[in-house]
């Protein structure tokens, strides 16, 4: 036995002895419970160990996973990753060694956690989330997390948040609510992917996804039932019209039939909603991800079709006209990233029409400076929160507050490359976001988030509040 092991055991024996003596003095009717509670108070709330490793995300690409230990237990978290990463978001640290995982390895980020971050955070109280995150920010010393890596910092930050909730013996969503200064929680409306395109699927559809929002559900459980039933009716419709291969799914689990354009996709979804019997209770949303097919100042809606590239260019004005028509003809209530990441002009013009929620993704990158500009210039009216774009839990809470103070909508979002970590479900509830997208009701890493929301609603019982029709301002 080492000296340290001897001391650890000796101190534990002393604490047990103290607890027993205290129980005797108190003459408690339940000495076992008394001693257990006494021991909990005697053990300090500190981080005792942090260990990281490289795992694979839902695309088979490496990402970072962290085990954070306290005297109370071990808490695990992992970092998601996007396919369409932008120049304004916090930087992922990748190895760049083409001989391993095609350069996508994250062993550098893992080593940074095990060496630098672990040393900096050892002994800190996991309940003090802002201090933990600030310690990593101070250690990084860059504006975009380039030194430590946003993937390394985020995984540690999430693990610490889970540990902090455990120390308080509170649900994770409640701990997040406390950290954000909120007194209530809300179950979000799920923005469920049903058709995939863009960089997330191998069909010719330019836009990245078509989603359904069950705003007419009475609770989250019913919302998922409505979404699942519509999804399966859509599968049958696509199989009838395009054959079984049309039911292949994209990265997010949405079907990827080789449709000619967005209107054809929306027609399919409307038919599925009708078959499911949910007309009027389910609204539509579109994630355009227009940055992916912006060439110069024009947009190529045939960018994925080799024989048609360059034949279907549209100007910003053309795109505004197209979106306006879609909002008129279909129950589209939200359009995400309708223009290029730097096309502030057309985004602002479209938002001013007031036809639907206009969500900033690449435009904002969850970056507080870009959010501030968009608020001041009335460029869009909703934030897409991707926690790995900002890098820590504390900063995520801050940008959500920034958006809500401007009366924006907030949609918490998964990424293309996901793990089975369900953290964003608790985050969406704790922050009262009102909206959360986690892909289709298909694929385990997507359902991990939706299923966690079902558990949270059950746990809250009669206190559970579903955003429903108030999805933009719960």
Q: Mutual orientation of helices 172-179 and 423-431 as an angle, nearest 10°?
A: 50
Are residues 273 and 307 in contact, defined by beta-carbon separation less than 8 angstroms?
no
Residue closest to 454 by CA, chosen among 464, 444, 463, 445:
464
252 is catalytic: yes
Active site residue 386: yes
C-alpha dihedral, 152 to 154 to 158 to 164, nearest 10°: 90
Let me know: does 434 contact 470? Beta carbons within 8 Å: yes
Hey, is 315 helix, strand or coil?
coil
What SS3 class is residue 417? strand
Among 133, 251, 252, 362, the active-site one is 252
Look at the chain and count its residues: 474
Pairing relationship of beta strands 409-413 and 434-439 according to DSSP bridges:
parallel
Q: How many CA atoms lie within 13 A of 351 on its CB side?
A: 23
Task: Provide the 10 A C-beta neighbour count for residue 241.
Answer: 13
Return the closest-CA partner of residue 335 out of 468, 453, 210, 460.
210
At 202 the three-state DSSP class reads coil
Nearest-angstrom CA–CA distance, 89 and 79? 14
Residue 263 makes CB contacts below 8 A (sequence gap 6+) with: 326, 329
Q: Any binding-site annotation on 287?
A: yes
Residue 103, helix vs strand vs coil: helix
Q: Distances from the Cα of 31 to the Cαs of 20, 43, 261, in angstroms?
A: 8, 18, 70
- Residue (of 83, 77, 79) closest to 59 by Cα position: 83
Please tell me which residue in 283, 386, 404, 449 is annotated as part of the active site: 386
Q: Does the annotation place 140 within a ligand binding site?
A: no
Beta bridge partners of 47: 70
Task: Work out the burial of residue 169: count CB atoms within 10 Å of its CB; fewer than 13 is exposed, 13-18 middle, 19 or more buried.
Answer: exposed
* Alpha helices, H only, 199-332: 220-242, 262-276, 316-329
Beta bridge partners, 358, equal: 335
Q: Which residues define the annotated binding site?
A: 287, 336, 361
Active site residues: 252, 386
Q: Which residues define the annotated binding site for Mg(2+)?
A: 287, 336, 361
């Amino acid at each position: 036995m080492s000296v340290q092991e001897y001391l650890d055991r000796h101190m534990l024996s002393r604490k047990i002895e103290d607890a027993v003596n205290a129980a005797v003095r108190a003459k408690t009717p339940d000495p076992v419970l008394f001693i257990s509670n006494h021991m909990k108070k005697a053990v300090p709330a500190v981080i005792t160990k942090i260990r990281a490793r490289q795992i694979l995300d839902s695309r088979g690409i490496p990402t970072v996973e962290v085990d954070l230990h306290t005297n109370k237990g071990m808490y695990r978290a992992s970092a998601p990753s996007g396919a369409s990463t932008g120049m304004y978001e916090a930087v992922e640290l990748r190895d760049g060694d083409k001989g391993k995982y095609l350069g996508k390895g994250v062993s550098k980020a893992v080593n940074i956690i095990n060496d630098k971050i672990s040393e900096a955070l050892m002994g800190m109280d996991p309940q003090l989330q802002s201090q933990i995150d600030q310690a990593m920010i101070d250690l990084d010393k860059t504006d975009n997390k380039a030194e430590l890596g946003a993937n390394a910092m985020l995984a540690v930050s999430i693990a610490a948040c889970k540990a902090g909730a455990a120390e308080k013996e509170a649900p994770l969503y409640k701990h997040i609510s406390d950290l954000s200064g909120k007194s209530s929680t809300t179950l979000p409306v799920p923005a469920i992917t049903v058709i995939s395109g863009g960089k997330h699927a191998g069909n010719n559809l330019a836009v990245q996804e078509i989603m359904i929002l069950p705003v007419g559900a009475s609770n989250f459980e019913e919302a998922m039932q409505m979404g699942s039933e519509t999804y399966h009716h859509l599968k049958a419709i696509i199989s009838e019209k395009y054959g079984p291969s049309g039911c292949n799914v994209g990265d997010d689990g949405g079907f990827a039939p080789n449709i000619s354009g967005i209107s054809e996709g929306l027609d399919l979804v409307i038919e599925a909603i009708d078959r499911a019997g949910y007309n009027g209770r389910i609204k539509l949303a579109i994630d355009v991800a227009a940055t992916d097919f912006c060439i110069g100042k024009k947009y190529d809606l045939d960018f994925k079709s080799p024989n048609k590239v360059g034949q279907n260019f549209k100007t910003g004005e053309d795109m505004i006209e197209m979106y306006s028509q879609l909002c008129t003809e279909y129950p589209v209530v939200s359009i995400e990233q309708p223009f290029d990441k730097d096309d502030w002009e057309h985004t602002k013009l479209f938002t001013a029409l007031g036809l639907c929620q206009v969500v900033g993704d690449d435009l904002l990158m969850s970056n507080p400076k870009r959010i501030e500009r968009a608020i001041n210039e009335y460029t869009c009216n909703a934030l897409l929160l991707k926690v790995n774009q900002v890098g820590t839990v504390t900063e995520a809470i801050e940008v959500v507050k920034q958006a809500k103070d401007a009366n924006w909508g907030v949609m918490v979002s998964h990424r293309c490359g996901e793990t089975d970590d369900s953290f964003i479900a608790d985050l969406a509830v704790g922050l009262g976001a009102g909206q959360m997208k986690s892909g289709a009701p298909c694929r385990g890493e997507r359902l991990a988030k939706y299923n966690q929301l079902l558990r949270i609603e059950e746990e809250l019982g009669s206190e559970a509040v579903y955003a429903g029709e108030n999805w933009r301002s719960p």
